[in-house]
Structure 1
Amino acid sequence: METRYATSPDELPLMDTAAIRERFLVDEVFRAGEVTATYSHQDRVVILGAQPGPDGLELPTFPELRAEFFLQRREAGVVNVGAPGTIVADGVEHEMAHGGCLYLGRGTREVRFTSGDEGDARFYVFSAPAHTDFPTTAVAPGQGTTRELGEQSTSNRRTLNQYIHANGVRSCQVVMGVTTLHDGSMWNTLPAHTHDRRMEAYLYFDLPDDARVVHLMGQPTETRHIVMANEQAVISPSWSIHSGVGTHAYSFVWAMAGENQEFDDMDPAGITDLR
Structure 2
Amino acid sequence: MQIRHSTNPKDAKHYDTNRLRDEYLIDSLMRADEICLVYSQIDRVITGGAMPVNSELTLAAGDALRASSFLQRRELGIINVGGSGQVKVGDKEYSLSKLECLYLGRGEPDPTFSSDDSAQPALFYMVSTPAHKEYPSVKSTQADANAIHLGSLETSNKRTIFQYIHEKGVPSCQLVMGLTILDTGSVWNTFPAHTHDRRMEVYFYFNLGEQDRVMHLMGEPDETRHIVVKNHQAVLSPSWSIHSGAGTRNYGFIWAMAGENQAFDDMDAIDLNNFR
Q: Distance in 1 between matches of 2:45 and 2:275?
A: 28
Where does residue 272 of structure 1 map in the other structure?
273
Q: Distance in 2 between matches of 1:239 and 1:158?
A: 25
Q: Is the 8 A contact 2:60 2:110 kept in 1?
A: no
| RMSD of Structure 2 on Structure 1 (CA) | 0.9
Q: Distance in 2 between matches of 1:248 and 1:79?
A: 22
Where does residue 156 of structure 1 map in the other structure?
157
Where does residue 216 of structure 2 map in the other structure?
215
Where does residue 122 of structure 2 map in the other structure?
121
Q: Secondary structure at the match of 1:22?
A: helix
Q: Is the 8 A contact 2:195 2:242 kept in 1?
A: yes
Where does residue 261 of structure 2 map in the other structure?
260
1:143 offset after TM fit, Å? 2.3
* CA deviation map 1:45-85 (0-9, x unaligned): 10111001253111122211000000000001001011111
Q: Secondary structure at the match of 2:19?
A: helix
TM-score, normalised by the number of residues in structure 1: 0.98
Q: Secondary structure at the match of 1:125?
A: strand
Q: Distance in 1 between matches of 2:113 and 2:143?
A: 22
2:90 aligned partner, one-letter code: D
2:111 aligned partner, one-letter code: V
Q: Secondary structure at the match of 1:240?
A: coil
Q: Distance in 1 between matches of 2:94 and 2:109?
A: 15
Q: Is the 8 A contact 1:105 1:171 kept in 2?
A: yes
1:142 offset after TM fit, Å? 3.9
Q: Distance in 1 between matches of 2:53 and 2:104?
A: 21
Q: Distance in 1 between matches of 2:110 and 2:243?
A: 34
Where does residue 191 of structure 1 map in the other structure?
192
Counterparts of 1:94-133 in structure 2, within 5 Å, are 94-117=94-117, 119-133=120-134
Identity of aligned residues (%): 51
Q: Is the 8 A contact 1:29 1:36 kept in 2?
A: yes
Q: Distance in 2 between matches of 1:191 and 1:89?
A: 41
1:151 aligned partner, one-letter code: S
Bigger mean CA offset, 133-142 vs 69-78: 133-142
Counterparts of 1:36-47 in structure 2, within 5 Å, are 36-47=36-47
Where does residue 82 of structure 2 map in the other structure?
82
2:59 aligned partner, one-letter code: L
Where does residue 27 of structure 2 map in the other structure?
27
Q: Distance in 1 between matches of 2:142 and 2:162?
A: 8
Q: Secondary structure at the match of 2:13?
A: helix
1:143 aligns with 2:144: yes
Q: Is the 8 A contact 1:212 1:246 kept in 2?
A: yes
Q: Distance in 2 between matches of 1:272 and 1:142?
A: 38
1:271 aligned partner, one-letter code: L
Q: Distance in 1 between matches of 2:35 and 2:104?
A: 16
1:7 offset after TM fit, Å? 0.4
Q: Secondary structure at the match of 2:154?
A: helix
Where does residue 176 of structure 2 map in the other structure?
175
1:110 offset after TM fit, Å? 2.6
2:227 aligned partner, one-letter code: I
Where does residue 92 of structure 1 map in the other structure?
92
1:164 offset after TM fit, Å? 0.1
Q: Secondary structure at the match of 2:87?
A: strand
Q: Distance in 1 between matches of 2:91 and 2:67?
A: 21
How many residues align? The count is: 275
Q: Distance in 1 between matches of 2:104 and 2:272?
A: 37
Q: Distance in 2 between matches of 1:263 and 1:7?
A: 24
* CA deviation map 1:93-122 (0-9, x unaligned): 111011111001000113011111261101
Q: Distance in 2 between matches of 1:186 and 1:207?
A: 11
Q: Distance in 2 between matches of 1:108 and 1:102?
A: 13
Q: Secondary structure at the match of 2:224?
A: strand
Q: 1:102 to 1:80 in 2, by over 3 A?
A: same
Q: Distance in 1 between matches of 2:216 and 2:129?
A: 23
Moved over 6 A (4+): none
